[in-house]
Amino acid sequence: MVGGGYQLAEVGYYCAWDSDDDVYVVDVKGAFRMIKTFSDSLKDNLDPVIERINKGFSSAIIIEGGLGQGKTTLAVQVVDYVNSKFGQPEMSLDTQEQIATGGEEFKVKLVQCYRDGLHGLIYDESGDFSGRRYISAYNRDLYRMFQIYRAFKVLVVIVLPSFTDLDAGLFKLDVVRFGLRLSDRNDWRGVFSGFSLKKMIYARHNIKKGKVVPAFCLRNMSPNFVGIFKNVDPVRSVLLDRLSTDAKIKISEELVEQSKSPKARVDIDEDWYGGVQL
Protein backbone atom coordinates (compact mmCIF):
# COMPACT_ATOMS: atom_id res chain seq x y z
CA MET A 1 0.00 0.00 0.00
CA VAL A 2 1.29 3.43 -0.89
CA GLY A 3 1.04 6.34 1.53
CA GLY A 4 -0.63 6.18 4.91
CA GLY A 5 -3.81 7.00 6.74
CA TYR A 6 -5.90 6.31 9.78
CA GLN A 7 -9.27 4.87 10.68
CA LEU A 8 -11.29 4.19 13.84
CA ALA A 9 -10.27 0.71 14.96
CA GLU A 10 -11.00 -0.02 18.58
CA VAL A 11 -13.13 1.88 21.07
CA GLY A 12 -11.14 5.02 21.89
CA TYR A 13 -8.37 4.14 19.47
CA TYR A 14 -7.49 4.96 15.93
CA CYS A 15 -5.64 2.65 13.66
CA ALA A 16 -2.95 4.02 11.39
CA TRP A 17 -0.69 2.61 8.74
CA ASP A 18 2.35 3.94 6.97
CA SER A 19 3.96 3.48 3.58
CA ASP A 20 5.82 0.33 4.74
CA ASP A 21 2.53 -1.41 5.57
CA ASP A 22 3.26 -1.23 9.30
CA VAL A 23 0.07 -0.94 11.32
CA TYR A 24 -0.20 1.10 14.51
CA VAL A 25 -2.87 1.73 17.08
CA VAL A 26 -3.04 5.35 18.20
CA ASP A 27 -4.75 6.26 21.45
CA VAL A 28 -6.56 9.53 22.15
CA LYS A 29 -3.36 11.12 23.48
CA GLY A 30 -1.59 10.40 20.21
CA ALA A 31 0.69 7.62 21.50
CA PHE A 32 1.55 5.07 18.80
CA ARG A 33 1.70 1.35 19.45
CA MET A 34 2.77 -0.93 16.63
CA ILE A 35 0.62 -3.95 15.86
CA LYS A 36 2.81 -6.86 14.83
CA THR A 37 0.10 -9.50 14.59
CA PHE A 38 -3.10 -8.63 16.46
CA SER A 39 -4.33 -6.27 19.17
CA ASP A 40 -3.40 -6.73 22.80
CA SER A 41 -7.06 -7.26 23.64
CA LEU A 42 -6.86 -10.70 22.04
CA LYS A 43 -3.57 -11.50 23.79
CA ASP A 44 -5.21 -10.59 27.12
CA ASN A 45 -8.00 -13.04 26.31
CA LEU A 46 -5.75 -15.81 25.03
CA ASP A 47 -3.52 -15.83 28.11
CA PRO A 48 -6.20 -17.19 30.51
CA VAL A 49 -7.12 -19.85 27.94
CA ILE A 50 -3.48 -20.92 27.64
CA GLU A 51 -3.38 -21.06 31.43
CA ARG A 52 -6.39 -23.40 31.30
CA ILE A 53 -4.57 -25.69 28.88
CA ASN A 54 -1.57 -25.79 31.21
CA LYS A 55 -3.86 -26.89 34.01
CA GLY A 56 -5.16 -29.73 31.85
CA PHE A 57 -8.56 -28.28 30.93
CA SER A 58 -9.47 -28.80 27.30
CA SER A 59 -10.07 -25.50 25.55
CA ALA A 60 -10.98 -24.27 22.11
CA ILE A 61 -11.78 -20.98 20.48
CA ILE A 62 -13.93 -20.30 17.45
CA ILE A 63 -13.12 -17.97 14.60
CA GLU A 64 -16.11 -17.23 12.40
CA GLY A 65 -16.66 -14.90 9.51
CA GLY A 66 -17.63 -14.66 5.88
CA LEU A 67 -15.53 -15.75 2.96
CA GLY A 68 -12.26 -13.86 2.66
CA GLN A 69 -12.49 -12.18 6.06
CA GLY A 70 -9.16 -13.63 7.18
CA LYS A 71 -10.28 -16.50 9.38
CA THR A 72 -7.33 -18.74 8.58
CA THR A 73 -4.91 -15.80 8.72
CA LEU A 74 -5.98 -14.93 12.27
CA ALA A 75 -6.01 -18.61 13.24
CA VAL A 76 -2.39 -18.93 12.12
CA GLN A 77 -1.47 -15.87 14.17
CA VAL A 78 -3.26 -17.27 17.22
CA VAL A 79 -1.40 -20.58 16.96
CA ASP A 80 1.88 -18.66 16.49
CA TYR A 81 1.11 -16.81 19.71
CA VAL A 82 0.35 -20.07 21.53
CA ASN A 83 3.62 -21.53 20.22
CA SER A 84 5.55 -18.47 21.41
CA LYS A 85 4.03 -18.88 24.88
CA PHE A 86 5.44 -22.41 25.01
CA GLY A 87 8.81 -21.29 23.62
CA GLN A 88 8.22 -22.85 20.22
CA PRO A 89 8.78 -21.36 16.74
CA GLU A 90 6.05 -20.16 14.39
CA MET A 91 3.84 -22.87 12.95
CA SER A 92 5.09 -24.31 9.71
CA LEU A 93 2.88 -23.84 6.69
CA ASP A 94 5.08 -26.22 4.71
CA THR A 95 4.67 -29.29 6.88
CA GLN A 96 1.16 -28.20 7.99
CA GLU A 97 1.36 -30.23 11.17
CA GLN A 98 -0.73 -27.66 13.08
CA ILE A 99 -3.50 -27.17 10.57
CA ALA A 100 -6.19 -29.69 9.68
CA THR A 101 -8.77 -29.30 6.94
CA GLY A 102 -11.57 -31.71 7.65
CA GLY A 103 -12.63 -34.04 10.42
CA GLU A 104 -10.51 -37.05 9.50
CA GLU A 105 -7.34 -34.98 9.28
CA PHE A 106 -8.18 -33.25 12.54
CA LYS A 107 -8.34 -36.50 14.45
CA VAL A 108 -4.96 -37.62 13.12
CA LYS A 109 -3.22 -34.28 13.62
CA LEU A 110 -4.55 -33.78 17.14
CA VAL A 111 -2.80 -36.96 18.24
CA GLN A 112 0.25 -35.96 16.20
CA CYS A 113 0.40 -32.54 17.92
CA TYR A 114 0.31 -34.27 21.29
CA ARG A 115 3.15 -36.59 20.33
CA ASP A 116 5.23 -33.71 18.94
CA GLY A 117 4.61 -31.54 22.02
CA LEU A 118 2.74 -28.86 20.07
CA HIS A 119 0.03 -26.87 21.86
CA GLY A 120 -2.03 -25.32 19.07
CA LEU A 121 -4.05 -26.82 16.24
CA ILE A 122 -6.25 -25.17 13.63
CA TYR A 123 -9.35 -27.06 12.63
CA ASP A 124 -10.34 -25.52 9.33
CA GLU A 125 -13.82 -26.80 8.58
CA SER A 126 -13.83 -26.05 4.88
CA GLY A 127 -13.56 -29.73 3.99
CA ASP A 128 -16.69 -30.65 5.89
CA PHE A 129 -19.38 -28.58 4.27
CA SER A 130 -21.18 -30.77 1.80
CA GLY A 131 -24.59 -31.13 3.36
CA ARG A 132 -26.53 -31.24 6.59
CA ARG A 133 -25.91 -34.91 7.27
CA TYR A 134 -22.18 -34.44 6.88
CA ILE A 135 -22.24 -31.51 9.27
CA SER A 136 -23.91 -33.72 11.84
CA ALA A 137 -21.21 -36.33 11.45
CA TYR A 138 -18.64 -33.57 11.74
CA ASN A 139 -20.24 -32.37 14.95
CA ARG A 140 -20.42 -35.89 16.36
CA ASP A 141 -16.73 -36.55 15.68
CA LEU A 142 -15.75 -33.21 17.10
CA TYR A 143 -17.85 -33.81 20.19
CA ARG A 144 -16.21 -37.18 20.78
CA MET A 145 -12.70 -35.79 20.28
CA PHE A 146 -13.32 -32.93 22.70
CA GLN A 147 -14.52 -35.40 25.30
CA ILE A 148 -11.23 -37.26 25.26
CA TYR A 149 -8.53 -34.74 24.34
CA ARG A 150 -8.25 -33.07 27.75
CA ALA A 151 -4.84 -34.51 28.56
CA PHE A 152 -3.39 -33.49 25.19
CA LYS A 153 -2.97 -29.84 26.31
CA VAL A 154 -3.74 -28.54 22.84
CA LEU A 155 -5.65 -25.36 22.08
CA VAL A 156 -7.94 -26.06 19.14
CA VAL A 157 -8.82 -23.12 16.92
CA ILE A 158 -12.07 -23.97 15.13
CA VAL A 159 -12.47 -22.02 11.92
CA LEU A 160 -15.90 -21.93 10.28
CA PRO A 161 -18.32 -19.45 8.70
CA SER A 162 -20.82 -19.47 11.56
CA PHE A 163 -20.57 -20.94 15.06
CA THR A 164 -24.28 -21.75 14.91
CA ASP A 165 -23.37 -24.74 12.73
CA LEU A 166 -21.74 -26.42 15.69
CA ASP A 167 -23.66 -28.88 17.78
CA ALA A 168 -25.21 -27.74 21.09
CA GLY A 169 -23.42 -30.60 22.84
CA LEU A 170 -20.06 -28.98 22.20
CA PHE A 171 -21.13 -25.94 24.17
CA LYS A 172 -22.35 -28.10 27.04
CA LEU A 173 -18.81 -29.44 27.43
CA ASP A 174 -17.59 -25.89 28.22
CA VAL A 175 -14.68 -26.52 25.89
CA VAL A 176 -15.22 -23.47 23.70
CA ARG A 177 -14.03 -20.45 25.69
CA PHE A 178 -14.75 -17.59 23.33
CA GLY A 179 -15.54 -16.82 19.74
CA LEU A 180 -14.15 -14.25 17.36
CA ARG A 181 -16.37 -12.77 14.69
CA LEU A 182 -14.45 -11.24 11.79
CA SER A 183 -15.72 -8.38 9.70
CA ASP A 184 -14.72 -5.34 7.71
CA ARG A 185 -11.44 -6.62 6.31
CA ASN A 186 -9.41 -4.51 3.93
CA ASP A 187 -5.98 -4.74 2.29
CA TRP A 188 -3.95 -4.17 5.41
CA ARG A 189 -6.02 -5.25 8.41
CA GLY A 190 -9.07 -7.16 9.61
CA VAL A 191 -11.38 -6.42 12.55
CA PHE A 192 -12.46 -8.97 15.13
CA SER A 193 -15.09 -8.88 17.87
CA GLY A 194 -14.73 -11.33 20.76
CA PHE A 195 -17.67 -12.99 22.50
CA SER A 196 -17.45 -15.08 25.67
CA LEU A 197 -18.92 -18.57 25.93
CA LYS A 198 -21.71 -17.09 28.03
CA LYS A 199 -22.68 -14.71 25.24
CA MET A 200 -22.52 -17.43 22.61
CA ILE A 201 -24.81 -19.64 24.71
CA TYR A 202 -27.28 -16.75 24.97
CA ALA A 203 -27.00 -16.16 21.23
CA ARG A 204 -27.87 -19.81 20.56
CA HIS A 205 -30.75 -19.58 23.00
CA ASN A 206 -32.09 -16.50 21.20
CA ILE A 207 -31.95 -18.37 17.90
CA LYS A 208 -33.75 -21.35 19.38
CA LYS A 209 -36.48 -19.14 20.78
CA GLY A 210 -36.87 -17.40 17.44
CA LYS A 211 -35.85 -14.03 18.84
CA VAL A 212 -33.11 -13.52 16.28
CA VAL A 213 -32.06 -15.02 12.97
CA PRO A 214 -28.77 -16.95 13.06
CA ALA A 215 -26.95 -14.51 10.78
CA PHE A 216 -27.50 -11.61 13.19
CA CYS A 217 -27.27 -13.43 16.52
CA LEU A 218 -23.90 -11.90 17.42
CA ARG A 219 -24.32 -8.59 15.65
CA ASN A 220 -27.09 -7.67 18.09
CA MET A 221 -24.83 -8.35 21.10
CA SER A 222 -22.13 -6.10 22.47
CA PRO A 223 -18.77 -7.88 22.25
CA ASN A 224 -16.47 -8.45 25.22
CA PHE A 225 -13.52 -7.09 23.29
CA VAL A 226 -12.66 -5.83 19.85
CA GLY A 227 -9.42 -5.39 17.98
CA ILE A 228 -7.60 -5.60 14.68
CA PHE A 229 -5.19 -8.04 13.14
CA LYS A 230 -2.62 -7.62 10.43
CA ASN A 231 -2.11 -9.75 7.40
CA VAL A 232 0.66 -12.33 7.66
CA ASP A 233 3.93 -11.52 5.92
CA PRO A 234 3.95 -11.93 2.12
CA VAL A 235 5.87 -15.22 2.09
CA ARG A 236 3.47 -16.90 4.51
CA SER A 237 0.53 -15.28 2.75
CA VAL A 238 1.48 -17.12 -0.45
CA LEU A 239 1.79 -20.39 1.47
CA LEU A 240 -1.60 -19.82 3.10
CA ASP A 241 -3.19 -19.18 -0.28
CA ARG A 242 -1.66 -22.37 -1.60
CA LEU A 243 -2.90 -24.29 1.42
CA SER A 244 -6.40 -22.96 0.94
CA THR A 245 -6.35 -23.75 -2.77
CA ASP A 246 -5.07 -27.29 -2.14
CA ALA A 247 -7.90 -27.89 0.34
CA LYS A 248 -10.47 -26.63 -2.15
CA ILE A 249 -9.12 -28.84 -4.91
CA LYS A 250 -9.27 -31.81 -2.55
CA ILE A 251 -12.89 -31.05 -1.69
CA SER A 252 -13.81 -30.61 -5.35
CA GLU A 253 -12.32 -34.00 -6.16
CA GLU A 254 -14.21 -35.59 -3.29
CA LEU A 255 -17.47 -34.04 -4.47
CA VAL A 256 -16.90 -35.25 -8.00
CA GLU A 257 -16.27 -38.77 -6.66
CA GLN A 258 -19.42 -38.59 -4.55
CA SER A 259 -21.60 -37.41 -7.40
CA LYS A 260 -20.45 -40.35 -9.58
CA SER A 261 -21.88 -42.81 -7.05
CA PRO A 262 -25.70 -43.32 -7.44
CA LYS A 263 -26.03 -44.08 -3.70
CA ALA A 264 -24.29 -40.85 -2.77
CA ARG A 265 -26.65 -38.97 -5.08
CA VAL A 266 -29.66 -40.31 -3.12
CA ASP A 267 -28.00 -39.37 0.18
CA ILE A 268 -27.43 -35.81 -0.97
CA ASP A 269 -31.03 -35.54 -2.15
CA GLU A 270 -32.24 -36.76 1.22
CA ASP A 271 -30.13 -34.18 2.95
CA TRP A 272 -31.23 -31.29 0.82
CA TYR A 273 -34.91 -32.20 0.61
CA GLY A 274 -35.44 -33.28 4.20
CA GLY A 275 -35.47 -37.01 3.48
CA VAL A 276 -38.33 -36.80 0.96
CA GLN A 277 -37.67 -38.87 -2.13
CA LEU A 278 -38.37 -36.72 -5.14
Partner 1 sequence: MVDFNNDTTVGMPAVDIERVSILQRRYDFIEAFEFYKKRTLSNVAMPNDLVRSRLLSLFLQMQGGFKRRYDKKDYDRIKDACWNSKTEEDIIEAFYQLSEELDKLNITKIDNRRAVRRDIAEEENKDAGL
Nearer to partner 1, 70 or 194 (CB): 194
Q: Site residues (CB under 8 A) for partner 1?
A: 41, 44-45, 48-49, 52, 174, 177-178, 194-199, 201, 224-225
CB of 32 to partner 1, least distance (A): 22
Which ranges constitute the DSSP H helices of 20-131?
Answer: 40-54, 71-85, 103-116
Our CB check for partner 1 shows the closer of 9 and 247 to be: 9
Considering beta carbons, is residue 201 or 212 the nearer one to partner 1?
A: 201
Q: Of 47, 84, 46, whose CA–CA distance to 63 is shortest? A: 46
* Three-state SS at 140: helix
Least Å distance between CB 196 and partner 1? 4
Alpha helices in the chain (DSSP H): 40-54, 71-85, 103-116, 132-148, 168-172, 197-208, 234-260, 262-272
Residue 121 CB, nearest approach to partner 1 (Å): 20
Q: How far is the CB of 214 from partner 1 (least distance, A)?
A: 21
Would strands 225-230 and 120-124 be described as parallel, antiparallel, or unpaired?
unpaired
Q: Which lies closer to partner 1 via its Cβ, residue 48 or residue 66?
A: 48
Contact 116, 83 (CB under 8 A): no
